C-alpha cells in the first residue's frame, strides 16, 4: 500500500510518513476543535448534535490539515491536494473538450520554474497551443505553485516508475500530450519516452553546446566551469532531446559576453535573460511549422 501511495503522490519515504502524520494530526485537531465548539452551544447529545459535529469537522478539516502541514514542511503538498479535492467536489475536475487542432504541451521542470512561467504566460492567450500539464520530480518545487496559480494540471513523478516502469507514458497519452518542453528538468529521459515523441521533445541548456554539457552540468556548475575556462562569451542552446545528455540536434543558440568581473551569479542572470527572451519564442516557431 505504501509503495502505491509513494508512486501515486510522487514522494519519498520520509515525505510519505510526514504526509500520513499530517493527516492523522489534522484529523485529531479538527475532531477536538469540533467538540469544543459544540460545548459552546449547550446542545445535548443526539441526532442534531451528531449532524452538527459532522458538519463542523468537515469544515474544519482542511484548515486543521493546512495548519499542521506548515511545521511538518508539507504545506505545498496539502495545498495542491486540497485544490484537487475542491475541483473534484465542485465538478471542475473534468477537462473541457479538446479543441480541434489544439497542440497540447507538457512542461517538465524540477525547480522554481521561471522558464515554465514565461512559457505559460507566452501561450496563455494562444488559440492553438495549450500548456496542458506540468511534470515535476521534486515535491515542493516552485513550478508546482505556478501550475496551481495558472490552473494547469500537475503531475509529481516517482523516479522508479519514470526510469524503470511505464515512464508515465500512459499519463501523457491520456492527457493527449503532443509536445514536451524541458525547462530545468534534471533527470535524464528514458529511451521509451524519447522514442514515443520523436523530435517532439526539446531542452534548453545554459551554455553554448557542444561545450559544457553532459552529466552533472546544470545550474551554477555550468557557469563556474565556463568562467574557470576563461571563456569570453556564453549563452543558451535549445536542442532536440536524444538518448545522450545535451546532445540532440541543435535548434537555436544565443550568446552573451562575459566580463572580467562576472561571477557565476551574474553570468546566471545574463543566461536567464536570454532564456526568458528566446525559449517561448522558439517553442512557438517550432509548433507553427
pLDDT at residue 17 in the model? 87
Domain boundaries, the chain: 2-90, 103-287
Q: What is the dihedral of CA 263, 269, 275, 280, to 10 degrees?
A: 170
What is the per-residue DSSP string for 137-177?
A: SSTT-HHHHHHHHTT--EEE--HHHHHHS-TTHHHHHHTT-
183 φ, ψ (degrees, to nearest 5): -130, 75
**98 vs 78, residue with greater confidence:** 78
**Neighbour tally for 108: CB within 10 Å:** 26
Q: Is 252 left (phi over 0), alpha (psi -120 to 50) or beta?
A: beta
Asked whether the beta carbons of 100 and 61 are under 8 A apart, the reply is no
User: Which among 152, 144, 83, 143 is positioned nearest to 124, based on CA atoms?
Assistant: 152
DSSP label at 197? S
How far apart CA 142 and CA 140 sit, in angstroms, is 6
**37 vs 240, residue with greater confidence:** 240
Cell (9 digits) for 135: 511534470
User: Residue 93 pLDDT > 60, yes or no?
Assistant: no
> pLDDT digit string (tens) for 55-75?
988 889 888 989 999 998 888
DSSP label at 95? P
Question: Per the residue annotation, which of 8, 205, 247, 272 is the catalytic one?
Answer: 205
How far apart CA 129 and CA 285 sit, in angstroms, is 11
Asked whether the beta carbons of 13 and 6 are under 8 A apart, the reply is yes
> pLDDT digit string (tens) for 19-39?
899 999 988 998 898 888 888
pLDDT at residue 207 in the model? 95
User: Residue 106 pLDDT > 70, yes or no?
Assistant: yes
pLDDT at residue 91 in the model? 58
pLDDT at residue 75 in the model? 83
Whole-prediction pTM value? Answer: 0.70
**268 vs 84, residue with greater confidence:** 268
272 alpha-carbon distance from chain centroid: 19
Catalytic, 122? Answer: no
Task: Give the position of cell 506548515.
Answer: 70
How far apart CA 58 and CA 137 sit, in angstroms, is 32
Asked whether the beta carbons of 256 and 271 are under 8 A apart, the reply is yes
> For 103-287, CATH number?
3.40.50.170
Edge-first strand listing for the sheet containing 103-109: 154-156, 129-136, 103-109, 179-182, 201-205, 233-240, 250-257
User: CA torsion sign, 202 to 207 to 210 to 213?
Assistant: negative
Which of the given ranges, 6-20, 30-44, 98-112, 196-210, has the highest pLDDT on average? 196-210
The CA R_g of the chain, rounded to the nearest whole Å, is 23
Model confidence at 7, pLDDT cuts 50, 70, 90, reads low
Amino acid at each position: 500500500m505504501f509503495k502505491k501511495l509513494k508512486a501515486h503522490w510522487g514522494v519519498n519515504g520520509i515525505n510519505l510518513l510526514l504526509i500520513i502524520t499530517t493527516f492523522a494530526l489534522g484529523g485529531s485537531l479538527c475532531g477536538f476543535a469540533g467538540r469544543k465548539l459544540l460545548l459552546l452551544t449547550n446542545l445535548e447529545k443526539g441526532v442534531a448534535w451528531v449532524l452538527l459535529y459532522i458538519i463542523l469537522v468537515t469544515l474544519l478539516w482542511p484548515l486543521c490539515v493546512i495548519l499542521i502541514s506548515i511545521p511538518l514542511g508539507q504545506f505545498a503538498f496539502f495545498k495542491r491536494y486540497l485544490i484537487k479535492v475542491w475541483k473534484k467536489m465542485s465538478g471542475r475536475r473534468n477537462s473541457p473538450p479538446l479543441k480541434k487542432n489544439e497542440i497540447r504541451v507538457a512542461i517538465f521542470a524540477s525547480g522554481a520554474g521561471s522558464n515554465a512561467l514565461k512559457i505559460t504566460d507566452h501561450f496563455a492567450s494562444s488559440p492553438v497551443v495549450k500548456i496542458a500539464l506540468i511534470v515535476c520530480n521534486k515535491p515542493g518545487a516552485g513550478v508546482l505553485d505556478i501550475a496551481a496559480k495558472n490552473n494547469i494540471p500537475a503531475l509529481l513523478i516517482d523516479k522508479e516508475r519514470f526510469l524503470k516502469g511505464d515512464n508515465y507514458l500512459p499519463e501523457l497519452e491520456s492527457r493527449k500530450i503532443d509536445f514536451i518542453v524541458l525547462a530545468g528538468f534534471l533527470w535524464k529521459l528514458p529511451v521509451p519516452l524519447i522514442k514515443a515523441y520523436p523530435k517532439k521533445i526539446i531542452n534548453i541548456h545554459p551554455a553554448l553546446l557542444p561545450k559544457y554539457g553532459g552529466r552533472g552540468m546544470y545550474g551554477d556548475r555550468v557557469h563556474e566551469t565556463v568562467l574557470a575556462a576563461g571563456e569570453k562569451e556564453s549563452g543558451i542552446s535549445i536542442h532536440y532531446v536524444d538518448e545522450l545528455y545535451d546532445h540532440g540536434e541543435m535548434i537555436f543558440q544565443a550568446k552573451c559576453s562575459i566580463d572580467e568581473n562576472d561571477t557565476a551569479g551574474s553570468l546566471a542572470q545574463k543566461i536567464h535573460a536570454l532564456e526568458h527572451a528566446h525559449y517561448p519564442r522558439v517553442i512557438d516557431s517550432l509548433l507553427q511549422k
